[in-house]
Structure 1
Amino acid sequence: MDNTITILGLVSGITGIIGFFFPSEWKEKIIIKIVFTLIILTLTSYIVFLNSKVDRIEKVSKSANLLIEKKQTEFTSEGFILAALSFLEQNKKDFPDSYERAKKIFEKYDNDKYRAIESVNISNEIEGLIKGIGILSTVENK
């Protein structure tokens, strides 16, 4: 949110500078004012959209890190598998490939006759997917 306000401040500052250097003949033409206003609104909307997308991915990445941190203390292997699937399903719009991979891993696990033995291995495989998403938020912090 802080970045959005900064960006909007920059755009409004640039608008003021452009307005100052307008030829005096243009200041009286309403069509030119409307065109410049539409260009600036479109540019601002696009920048805010991109910024909100980045913020959303950062939140998901931080949630992934939190899920990994709590794996050992709050989940059994099977519980972690289900929690990770729920997490990926909730965020499948941002990470569709990871969700599809996790579903395939779970199907292999779900159809295994040695399910209890395989739960640790499958849990570790899915943990790798979640760690990959979590890395996105830690890259900027280093």
Structure 2
Amino acid sequence: MVDFWLVLSAVGSIASLIGLLLPFQNKSQRILHVAYGLAVTLLAFTAVWFWQENQRIHRIEQSAQRLLAHSEHISTDLGFIQAALAFLEKNRDIYPDTYYRALEICKLNNCSSAQYTDKNTGLDHVFNLQAVAEAFRGLISGIGTLEGGG
């Protein structure tokens, strides 16, 4: 990963060297050279920041695809639900609505409740977990697809 300060230092140094090589004729040209150096540094800093954000989104997309590919190896629906919630929580700064939607789906389907309750038979609980797991597979698949995945 490219470090912001490394790029900022390198570009700032290059801009300073260019500024030194250009002749100074009057005060307005000096101000123009300083402005030019700052503009080049700011442009480089902004480009690196956008590049890093783009790389992060691609890593999230790859992680979503890996989670779906390995979901067959997770032995229970509850295990996949927990893995999906952990993935969404880790990336909730980028996908906050999706994370809160997943929490709401879990709440509506009693993901965290005991298997047997007064209102819930074991079979209902199993069906609820299957429904939630499928919904989460759709959410995770959507993140991978929206970000350019297959």
Root-mean-square deviation (Å): 3.0
Matching of residues 1-142 of structure 1 within 5 Å: 25=25, 29-110=29-110, 113=120, 114-135=124-145, 136-138=147-149
Aligned pair count? 128
- Corresponding residue for residue 116 of structure 2: none
Q: Give the unaligned 5+ runs of structure 2.
A: 114-118
TM-score (norm 1): 0.75
C-alpha change, 1:75 and 1:92, in structure 2 (3 Å) is farther
CA distance in 1, matches of 2:135, 2:67: 14
**CA offset at residue 116 of structure 1?**
2.0
The higher radius of gyration belongs to 2
Q: Give the unaligned 5+ runs of structure 1.
A: none
Greater CA drift, 83-92 or 111-120:
111-120
C-alpha change, 1:39 and 1:75, in structure 2 (3 Å) is farther
CA distance in 2, matches of 1:97, 1:131: 15
Q: Which runs of 4+ in 1 moved over 6 A?
A: none
CA distance in 2, matches of 1:118, 1:33: 66
CA distance in 2, matches of 1:32, 1:118: 66
**CA offset at residue 25 of structure 1?**
4.0
CA distance in 2, matches of 1:32, 1:75: 65
**Which letter maps to 1:118?**
N
1:44-83: CA deviation from partner (whole Å, max 9, x where unpaired): 1111111111100100110000000011122411100011
- Identify, as 1 or 2, the structure richer in helix: 1
TM-score (norm 2): 0.72
